[in-house]
Each structure stands twice: as C-alpha cells, then as structure tokens.
Amino acid sequence: MNDGIITGPDVRACVCCGGLMINFNGDALPYSGEFRLIENGKDLGITDKDKFPIYVNVDWKTDMTNTCNHIIITRMARK
C-alpha cells in the first residue's frame, strides 16, 4: 500500500479535472505538488462532510479508460 493524502475536491473547470485530488509526496495542500485525481471517492466512503486533508494508505491503479491523470483506488485504509 502507498501512503497518500487526499487534499480535497478538484473544482477546476477543464476536460481532465474533477474528482478528488490525492498526493503521494506528502504535500497536504490542494493543487500543490504532483497530484492525481480519483473519481471513486463515494465508493470509498468519502462524502462532502469529510474534512480534508485525509491521510490514507491505498492500493491503486491507473484508470485505463481515462486519458487524463486519473487513478482508481482499489483498497483504502484511513490513518
């Protein structure tokens, strides 16, 4: 599993935007550093009531159905 920080929703308006931002380099600020996007936040139990950043351990894979920087979280545990 990889250590990650879900920094919050991506509210930019562009073709490759949207979902939740996750950073694997220890940066807890939204839109900062190198981050990836996840679409399946609701499947992971993340709701609008959660407070960000959320520190997690995750297994993930590249979303092959998406040409953007999106990933799919296959397993997650909150720290």
pLDDT at residue 26 in the model: 95
Q: Return the sign of the alpha-carbon dihedral for residues 46, 50, 53, 56.
A: negative
Residue 42: φ, ψ to 5°: -65, -35
pLDDT single digits (tens) 56-72: 999 999 988 877 889 99
pLDDT at residue 52 in the model: 97
Range of the domain at 7: 2-78
On the CB side of 8, CA atoms within 13 Å amount to: 11
Parts of the chain with a pLDDT under 70: none
**What CA–CA distance (Å, rounded) separates 42 from 29?**
21
pLDDT at residue 40 in the model: 82
pLDDT at residue 46 in the model: 93
Domain count along the chain: 1
